[in-house]
Chains A and B, each alone.
Chain A
Amino acid sequence: MSIVDRLKTIDRRIIFVAISLAVIIPLLFPIGLPIMVSPPAQGLYDAIEELKPGSKVLLSFDYDPSTMPEVYPMNLGVVRHCFSKNIKLVGMGLWPTGVLLGQEAFELLAEEYGKTYGEDYINLGFKAGGIVVISAMAENIPETFPEDYAGTSIEEFPIMKGVKNFDSFGLAVCFSAGDPGVREWVMIAHSRYGKKVGAGITAVMAPAYYPYLQAGQLVGLLGGMKGAAEYETLLKYKGTGSAGMDAQSIAHSLIIVFIIFGNVIYFIARRKERKKV
């Protein structure tokens, strides 16, 4: 068997080991590559910066643990930004697991910023129904979410005093890993009720949402781990998004090397076959 044939049928375990090392080594020994901020990330940051202290932001946690490495750092970044500006946060979810991840983010940062549950932030929990839940919230939030995620009546929490519908919020941010998610928030909250909407989504979803961004239906967009890292750069701190970018850089580069190498092997093999014929 020639070298070309051997490379064509290379054991996939060698590729697996290479990609493992490309991810693990930069995580253990960070390189600290600088991150450039793109306009979509800047847009979301600016939208939150424009809000006055005491105003409210609605966060929709529409993702699950499988996409946590990408979306959770964005979630943390936005919560951190809002807490640092004394903006009150109302969380909820169209995905059941997202609610628990959002709560984790709240709990993690509430202590750091001295925030109290029910006064500075609240988690309304999961409600099934997707787009209908958003429509119902636009009409009446206390009727849609009469209790928080733990089953306590929302009337007991000062943060919910006077909250009727979307008019009570300066911005809605959806952290999404699929449907229902950003599309539904844009369709109802923005297009029908004129609410400003921002989004944090997985990298693979990002190209699909650029039309919404360009049309002004989204004020900003964080796409994948890069989006999270950009937001962390804007907030001037290093979180898991920034740390993950080193690993992602090396892994992407390795995949590109694989693509180029695979194609070189393919063309050499093809030329050989043509010569034989």
Chain B
Amino acid sequence: MRRQLPLAICFVMGVSMVVQFFIPHRVSQEFYRTILDWYRIVFAFSLVLGTGTLIKVHWAKISKKSKGWQYSIITIGGLVFMLAVGFITGIQEGTLFMKIFEYVEVPLEATMFSLLAFYIASAAYRAFRARTVEATLLLIAAVVLMLGRIPFGYYLWHKIPGIAEWILTNPNMAAKRGIVIGVGLGMISTALKIILGIERSYIGGGK
């Protein structure tokens, strides 16, 4: 029963949603709206579940004094503190919550992401090598695109931005379309496998 019931719910709901999509009747639309409400409620619970899991994992690290347990204190402390500040002061402009967001979170996240520039530069020097024909083509395309994305490229040769745009709108787009269509077909086949009960890993493994 523990396996059959979820499989039955999945099959009924999956088939219902597919059928509903093609029926513009009022009842069908109302059904769709109800499902959307349900989905949002379920999603809200998943946020609670996620927060609970986060606390559980980090609490376990603190209890066992695992490697880096001090960071877990900061994680849980930050979570509790921001929740409390948000509830007490609200999240409007000028509140403590917004000040912490603007002067702590924004610079921290921006700093973390900006470190990428240094690693890209280092990797460009050390790893981006024209070892094979494919790697050479990739290298040339990358250099042209990088030049095409900056005003300097135009001054170097006025046709570079046009070539960069051509790379984006032709070879890039052809490859991208292929990938998107492939992913789409993969999603349909996976969805069908789940609806028909062939793929059951989401209920805890097994065949």
**Residues of A with Cβ closer than 8 Å to B?**
10, 12, 15-16, 18-20, 23, 33-36, 38, 64-69, 97, 100-101, 103-104, 107, 127-129, 132-133, 135-136, 139-140, 144, 149-151, 203, 206-208, 210-211, 214, 224, 226, 245, 248-256, 258-263, 266
Contacts and interface: CB of A to CB of B under 8 A. Distances in A.
Contacts of B113: 66-67
A211 B102 CA distance: 35
B43 A214 contact: no
Interface in B28-57: 29, 32-33, 36-37, 39-40, 43-44, 46-47
B165 to A, nearest CB: 7
Residue of B122, B143, B180 most packed against chain A (CB within 10 A): B122
A101 B110 CA distance: 13
A101 B91 CA distance: 12
9 contacts: A34-B151, A36-B161, A128-B43, A203-B149, A211-B180, A214-B169, A250-B152, A255-B146, A262-B124
A214 B180 CA distance: 14
B126 interface: yes
Contacts of A251: 117, 121
B125 A258 contact: yes
A132 B93 contact: no
A128 B44 contact: yes
B98 interface: yes
A17 to B, nearest CB: 10
A22 to B, nearest CB: 9
A36 B129 contact: no
Contacts of A262: 124-126, 128-129
B176 A207 contact: yes
Interface of B: 29, 32-33, 36-37, 39-40, 43-44, 46-47, 90-93, 98, 101-102, 105-110, 112-114, 117-118, 120-122, 124-126, 128-130, 139, 142-143, 146-147, 149-152, 154-155, 161, 165, 168-169, 172-173, 176-177, 180
B109 A249 contact: no
Contacts of B130: 263, 266
Given A150-B90, A214-B173, A255-B121, A35 B151 contact: yes
A18 B93 CA distance: 38
B149 A224 contact: yes
Nearest to A265: B125
A249 B151 contact: yes
A265 B171 CA distance: 30
Contacts of A69: 110, 114
- Interface residues of A, dominant DSSP: helix
Nearest to B156: A253
A255 B151 contact: no
Contacts of A207: 168, 172, 176
Contacts of B40: 127-129, 132-133, 136, 144
Contact of A36 (B128, B154, B168): B154
Given A33-B152, A211-B180, A252 B147 contact: yes
A64 B102 contact: no
Contacts of B108: 65
Name the 10 nearest CB pairs between A and B, nearest first: A66-B113, A33-B151, A65-B109, A249-B150, A65-B106, A258-B125, A66-B109, A262-B125, A19-B121, A249-B152
